[in-house]
């Protein structure tokens, strides 16, 4: 059984943040040694991510013609125009509902799926393969697929619901103002659960079996064990899943853009599709404004993640 | 080495069949949309958007799969996707392993700043950054090269790998390493011969994550890969349905084929993930 | 066993590491003279000064169809190189993305040499383009249909060289018409309304008229209706978007959707490609405004027995045709003038331009092309009216934004609480502010 011996004894698969908070036990060697180990990562990030980020900030301070030609400096004009955009409030509230909705449902569903996949049962392997499929399929394709599935006229979902007599006439999942956001959230959850479930699965598997043993001897019921033991021990995995999902859901473009592509205006856009449409699809057609919205989007994520880490996940991050 | 799962301490309970049932229900939920996709690929294009819809094709036809796999454009796109995803994954491993190891083992000035920088880089969406990304590769005269796309994909997915691997390295007792040091192994040898095998589940997780992210990347590839033969699948696939001509059957056949390599990769390395992860509870 | 796996990993990775180091250096300084990159969109100038000639130019082309667009341009590039010795880099981009790609290139001061798009005036306004005087053989210019010369002319000069065109007409489902007891396609709006009601009354989910006023192509749908009510987007150089005629037109469309309920569900949120066309192609819509590519698709499917007729007019007067053309514009870049000129020279050879148009299923843009296509019976309905076709005001840079405002705004007018007058007033304001 080589697997058992080669695995980390305490197998903390997904506890990076807790692990970072663990006091490293040695003082570091001189700075240039650190650079040797961290250098490639730093170089890659500085060269490939930071440079364009600086370019984005510069673009947000410039004025552009509709063609993309830079015509001069805009000062904070682009930011002012974004802040005064009549649809900004709507976009922000859509974004809040979208992020919170997808996040909460994804975490709950992810916990349930992970719990199931951590159990030993016949066919588990096939189920695990099946669960990875929505993660493996490109979001562009999945979004396209769901516009077909949910269509009013040729969507299979309506057909099935009609056949089952759940509804008596088709629902316009994508064109109705009250259905489009729930539809997008449902698809968002669908594609986010696989990754999240695997993070939780790793976390569940790192919980030592003897902890459960002890709980059983104390006569704890299944639910009590879950709430008092499993969930607290899953906190590191929860932290990772939450932080990463916040970022991904905020920045999730294809689902919102594609499912919503038949609806005119900004009524159902989130901050990221708002940013894109400002540049290319709306009458603003202004890449400077779009860049300002892009900077705003990053700041928004930064604040949300910072607040989360500071207040909700305090214990894990404190050094 | 086949499917032998490590023996778990708790015996299989009588709930086994129930769990299997629940498992297959979950599998069905996640597979159902893609089953429709397969069925859409197996019918003429005109039947895909038919009103009223039918779940099973009215006319079965596997022609779309033949059209797609004999199409040189498609084969080029597939090759790009494979090359770029595999290479990005290798770059990520190569860069993240030393960084994660070092950050896990040593307390050095700027360590927190480094980890924070890593986290913040995840917050930028490539959609917003694509103009700057294009500019820098343009200035490096590397637009339209695999290497530019590989490095970009690697950079945007480095953070997760470093996070995950750091956790694993931190969890390996120092004693293991010290014993190896006594045996005369250098730091590099300790890392490659001892620590990496021990952190295998973390590596597997990082591989899956990076590969999938690179495989599905769209907007950067769209901008950097201008030569039709160098486009990856995600970009090329949009050619099947335009405002003027709709080959829905081929679009979905190509999509089905595009999912296969990822699932195969996952199936190949999943047992390492399972083995490593469950081993934790055997202890 | 595990060890072997790890060793293999590092072995493979080693090569990439080296590449990474090389790349990091090249990317960091931006001064790399490495020949590893082809430079993509860059036209590499062999001379250092402005007088140098380029050794390659780039074409950024919109993709009309998967099997024809890239194939045609790649073939064209070979001929072009054989003829001129200049390499033509072909970049085929989907319609959804081409605006973004062009903008990205221009933001980085690296536009393609030739761009194929449905708009050009803003580029001309920004002084980025060559006019036909600089790059087009006068003989070619005089062969281009007058309507397209007019739509491609900004401030007296032709900048938007048309690559192909299309015209819209009314497609009707003969089977549904027969079932509803309609003998001939409608000629007036009253007949149209009556026929749409009859088809809708057939039940089983049939709709009289599929009306795509969603953001994909709302301006096209509205254009064909307003031209057939004697309206226009601009009249005598002034925006007339909210003219009485246009308000009347949009009110009529709202009536079809809301009062008569003869359109599909939510027409203001229906796109053309996966909405209106799909409905007509599956035999569920009595009528739709279509064009020749839809014809090609319907003939391939062989599911719907359809006919094509001129659009009905509000008062029974002569039907007006709405046409669309896309443009090939050339960007002023150091030393590329001759290369660009040679590009146009070759493209407008009848063998090239007409072959492309035929393969894509569109309509010609030249007088000689109209003659060549005259033998195609299926195109007769469009060709007869092509020379007098009405176009949207693509010669006005303001239209490039107005069009987007129309796409994002006009759908709201045909909803239950839509206000056609208010929507058009808003668009008129935006147009005037942008001019």
Distance to chain C for B138, nearest Cα, Å: 7
pLDDT in tens, chain B (283 residues): 334 444 444 445 557 889 999 999 999 999 999 999 999 999 999 999 999 999 999 999 999 999 999 999 999 999 999 999 999 999 999 999 999 999 888 888 788 888 888 888 888 888 899 999 999 999 999 999 999 999 999 999 998 899 888 877 887 888 888 887 777 777 778 888 888 888 887 888 889 889 999 999 999 999 999 999 999 999 999 999 998 999 999 999 999 999 999 998 888 887 776 544 433 322 2
Strands (E), C110-264: 114-117, 153-154, 157-158, 161-167, 169-173, 207-210, 234-235, 238-239
B149 and B261 in a single domain? The answer is: yes
Number of other CB atoms surrounding residue A36 within 10 Å: 12
Q: Would you state the pLDDT for residue C385?
A: 84
pLDDT for A22 beyond 60: no
**Cβ C405–A283 below 8 Å, yes or no?**
yes
Could you tell me what percent of chain A has a pLDDT over 70?
Answer: 88
Rounded to a whole number of angstroms, the distance between the first and last alpha carbons of chain A is 37
Indicate whether B242 and B268 sit together in one domain.
yes
Mean pLDDT, rounded, for C235-259: 97
**Is residue A27 very low, low, confident or very high in pLDDT (cuts 50, 70, 90)?**
low
Contact B119 A305 (CB under 8 A): yes
Across residues C178-184, what is the average pLDDT?
97
Q: C271, A262: Cβ pair inside 8 Å?
A: yes
In which domain, by residue range, is B34 found?
19-61
Q: Looking at chain B, which residue has its C-alpha nearest residue C207?
A: B51
pTM of the model as a whole: 0.88
Structural domains in chain C, sorted by start: 56-167+323-390 (3.40.190.10), 169-322+396-434 (3.40.190.10)
With 70 as the cut, is the pLDDT of residue A19 above it?
no
What pLDDT is recorded for position C130?
98
Is B69 domain-assigned?
no
Distance CA C369, CA C326 (A): 16
Q: What is the mean pLDDT of residues C82-97?
A: 96
A4 with B36: Cβ contact below 8 A: no
* Domain count across chain B: 2
Does a structural domain hold residue B142? Answer: yes
Give buried/exposed letters for B14-51 (b at 16+ CB in 10 A, else e).
eeeeebbebbbebbebbbebbebbebbbbbbbbbbbbb
Q: What is the mean pLDDT of chain A?
A: 87
- CB within 8 Å: A283 and C284: no
Residues B161 and B209 in one domain: yes
Nearest C-alpha neighbor of C194 from the set C205, C202, C182, C203: C182
The answer to whether residues B30 and B143 belong to one domain is no
Q: How far is CA A170 from CA A165, A240, B39, C209, C282, in A?
A: 11, 40, 22, 19, 18
Residues contacting A112, CB < 8 A, separation 6+: none
C37, C202, C294, C360: best to mutate for the B interface, most B CBs within 10 A: C37
Contact partners, residue B146, CB within 8 Å, separation at least 6: B80, B83, B84, B87, B230
Looking at residue C45, what DSSP letter applies? B
Q: What pLDDT sits at residue C14?
A: 36
Residue C334 has pLDDT above 80, yes or no: yes
Give the list of residues 6+ apart from residue C22 with CB closer than 8 angstroms, or none. Answer: none
Of residues A16 and C180, which shows the higher confidence score?
Answer: C180
- Name chain B's partners: 3 or more CB pairs within 8 A: A, C
Please give the structure tokens belonging to residue A273.
């599709």
Please check whether residue B133 lies inside any domain of the structure: yes
* pLDDT exceeds 70 at position C22: no
Q: Do B128 and B252 share a structural domain?
A: yes
pLDDT reading at C379 higher than 70:
yes
Residues B165, B56 within the same domain: no
pLDDT tens per residue, range C405-428: 999 999 999 999 999 999 999 999
For C197-211, what is the mean pLDDT? Answer: 96
| Chain A environment of B199 (Cβ under 8 Å) | 8
For A210-248, the pLDDT digits (tens) are 888 888 888 888 888 888 888 888 887 888 889 989 999
Q: What is the pLDDT of residues C68-79, one digit of tens each?
A: 999 999 999 999
Tell me whether residue B249 is in a domain.
Answer: yes
Q: Does residue A3 surpass a pLDDT of 50?
A: no
Quick check: C34 pLDDT over 80? no
Question: Where do the domains of chain A lie?
Answer: 86-233+252-262
Q: Contact at 8 Å (CB) between A150 and A185? A: no
Give the pLDDT of residue A316: 53
Question: What pLDDT is stored for residue B205 in this prediction?
Answer: 83
The pLDDT of residue C93: 96
CA distance B190 to B186: 6
CATH level 3 topology of A86-233+252-262: MetI-like fold (1.10.3720)
Domain membership of residue B10 (yes or no) is no
CB atoms within 10 A of CB A43: 20
Residue B246 pairs in a beta bridge with B241
Closest-CA distance of chain A to residue B244, Å: 17
- Chain A partners of C27 at a C-beta cutoff of 8 Å? 47-48
Q: Are residues B219 and B247 in the same domain?
A: yes
- Stretch A166-173: mean pLDDT: 95
C365 touches C165 (CB < 8 A): yes
The CA-CA-CA angle for residues B258, B261, B266, to 5°, reads 130
Residue A30: the pLDDT is 67
Q: Which of B5, B37, B61 is the last residue of a domain?
A: B61
CATH of the domain at B214: 1.10.3720.10
Q: Which residues of B231-241 are buried (b: 16+ CB within 10 A; e: fewer)?
A: bbbbbbbbbbb
**Residue B11 domain flag:** no
C273-297 residue pLDDT tens: 999 999 999 999 999 999 999 999 9
Q: Which helix (H) or strand (E) holds B107?
A: strand B106-107
Q: Has residue B7 been placed in a domain? A: no
């Amino acid at each position: 059984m080589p697997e058992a011996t080669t695995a980390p004894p305490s197998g903390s698969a997904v506890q990076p943040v807790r692990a970072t908070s663990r006091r490293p036990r040695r003082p570091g060697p001189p700075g240039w040694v650190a650079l040797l180990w961290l250098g490639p990562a730093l170089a890659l990030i500085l060269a490939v991510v930071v440079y364009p980020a600086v370019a984005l900030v510069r673009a947000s301070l410039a004025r552009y013609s509709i063609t993309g030609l830079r015509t001069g400096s805009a000062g904070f004009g682009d930011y002012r125009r974004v802040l005064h955009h009549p649809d900004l409030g709507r976009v922000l509230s859509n974004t809040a509902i979208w992020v919170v909705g997808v996040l909460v449902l994804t975490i709950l569903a992810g916990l349930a799926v992970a719990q199931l996949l951590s159990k030993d049962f016949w066919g588990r392997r096939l189920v695990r393969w099946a669960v990875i499929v929505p993660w493996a399929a490109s979001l562009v394709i999945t979004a396209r697929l769901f516009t077909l599935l949910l269509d009013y006229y040729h969507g299979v979902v309506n057909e099935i619901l009609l056949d089952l007599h759940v509804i008596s006439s088709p629902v316009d999942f994508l064109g109705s103002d009250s259905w489009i956001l729930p539809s997008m959230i449902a698809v968002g959850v669908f594609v986010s659960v696989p990754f999240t479930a695997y993070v939780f699965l790793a976390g569940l598997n790192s919980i030592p079996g003897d902890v459960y043993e002890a709980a059983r001897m104390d006569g704890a019921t299944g639910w009590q064990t879950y709430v008092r033991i499993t969930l607290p021990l899953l906190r590191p995995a929860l932290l990772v899943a939450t932080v990463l999902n916040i970022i991904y859901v905020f920045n999730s473009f294809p689902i919102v853009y594609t499912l919503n592509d038949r609806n005119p205006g900004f009524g159902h856009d989130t901050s990221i599709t708002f940013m894109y449409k400002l540049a290319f699809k709306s009458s603003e057609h202004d890449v400077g404004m779009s860049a300002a919205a892009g900077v705003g989007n990053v700041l928004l994520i930064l604040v949300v993640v910072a607040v989360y880490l500071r207040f909700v996940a305090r214990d894990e991050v404190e050094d | 080495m086949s499917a032998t799962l490590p023996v778990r301490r708790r015996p299989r309970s009588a709930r086994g069949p129930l769990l299997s049932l629940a498992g297959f229900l979950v599998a069905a939920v996640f597979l159902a949309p893609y089953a429709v996709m397969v069925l859409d690929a197996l019918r003429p294009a005109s039947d895909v958007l038919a009103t009223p819809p039918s779940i099973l094709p009215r006319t079965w036809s596997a022609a779309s799969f033949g059209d797609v796999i004999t199409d040189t454009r498609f084969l080029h796109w597939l090759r790009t996707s494979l090359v770029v995803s595999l290479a990005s994954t290798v770059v990520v491993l190569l860069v993240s392993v030393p960084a994660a190891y070092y950050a896990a083992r040593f307390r050095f000035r700027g360590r927190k700043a480094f980890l924070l920088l890593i986290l913040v880089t995840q917050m930028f969406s490539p959609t917003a950054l694509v103009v700057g990304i294009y500019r820098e590769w343009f200035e490096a005269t590397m637009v339209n090269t695999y290497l530019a796309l590989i490095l970009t994909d690697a950079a945007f997915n480095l953070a997760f790998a470093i996070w995950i691997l750091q956790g694993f390295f931190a969890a390996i007792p120092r004693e293991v390493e010290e014993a190896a040091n006594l045996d005369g192994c250098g730091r590099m040898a300790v890392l490659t011969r001892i620590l990496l095998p021990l952190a295998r589940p973390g590596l597997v997780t990082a591989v899956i994550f990076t590969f999938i992210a690179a495989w599905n990347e769209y907007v950067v590839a769209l901008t950097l890969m201008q030569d039709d033969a160098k486009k990856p699948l995600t970009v090329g696939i949009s050619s099947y349905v335009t405002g003027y001509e709709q080959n829905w059957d081929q679009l979905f056949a190509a999509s089905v084929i595009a999912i296969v390599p990822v699932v195969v990769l996952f199936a190949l390395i999943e047992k390492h993930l399972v083995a490593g992860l469950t081993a934790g509870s055997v202890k | 066993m595990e060890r072997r796996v790890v060793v293999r990993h590092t072995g493979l990775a080693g090569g990439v590491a080296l590449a990474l180091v090389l790349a990091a250096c090249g990317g960091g300084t931006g001064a790399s003279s490495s020949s590893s990159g082809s430079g993509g969109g860059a036209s590499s100038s062999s001379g250092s000064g402005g007088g140098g000639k380029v050794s390659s130019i780039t074409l950024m082309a919109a993709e009309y169809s998967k099997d024809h667009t890239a194939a045609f341009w790649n073939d064209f590039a070979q001929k072009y190189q054989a003829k001129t010795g200049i390499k033509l880099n072909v970049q085929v981009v989907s319609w959804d993305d081409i605006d973004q790609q062009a903008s990205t290139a221009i933001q980085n001061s690296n536009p393609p040499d030739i761009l194929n798009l449905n708009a050009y005036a803003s580029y001309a306004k920004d002084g980025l383009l060559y006019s036909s005087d600089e790059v087009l053989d006068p003989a070619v210019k005089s062969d281009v249909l007058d309507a397209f010369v007019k739509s491609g002319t900004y401030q007296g000069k032709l900048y938007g060289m048309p690559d192909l065109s299309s015209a819209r007409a009314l497609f009707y489902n003969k089977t549904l018409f027969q079932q509803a007891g309609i003998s001939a396609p409608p000629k007036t709006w009253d007949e149209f309304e009556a026929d749409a009601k009859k088809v809708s009354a057939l039940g089983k989910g049939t709709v009289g008229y599929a009306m795509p006023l969603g953001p994909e192509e709302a301006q096209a749908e509205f254009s064909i209706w307003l031209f057939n009510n004697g309206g226009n987007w601009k009249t005598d150089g002034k925006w007339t978007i909210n003219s009485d005629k246009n308000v009347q037109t949009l009110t009529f469309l709202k009536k079809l959707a809301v009062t008569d309920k003869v359109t599909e569900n939510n027409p203001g949120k229906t796109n053309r490609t996966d909405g209106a066309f799909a409905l007509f192609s599956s035999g569920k819509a009595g009528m739709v405004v279509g064009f020749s590519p839809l014809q090609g698709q319907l003939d391939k499917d062989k599911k719907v027995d359809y006919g094509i007729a001129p659009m009905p007019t509000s008062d029974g007067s002569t039907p007006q045709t709405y046409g669309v053309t896309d443009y090939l514009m050339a960007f002023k870049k150091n030393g590329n003038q001759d290369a660009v000129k040679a590009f146009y020279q070759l493209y407008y050879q009848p063998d090239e331009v007409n072959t492309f148009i035929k393969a894509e299923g569109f309509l010609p843009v030249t007088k000689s092309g109209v003659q060549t296509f005259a033998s195609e019976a299926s195109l007769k309905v469009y060709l007869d009216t092509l020379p007098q076709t009405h176009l949207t005001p693509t010669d006005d840079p303001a239209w490039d934004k107005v069009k987007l405002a129309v796409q994002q705004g006009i759908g709201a007018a045909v909803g239950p609480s839509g206000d056609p007058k208010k929507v058009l007033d808003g668009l008129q304001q935006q147009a005037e502010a942008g001019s």
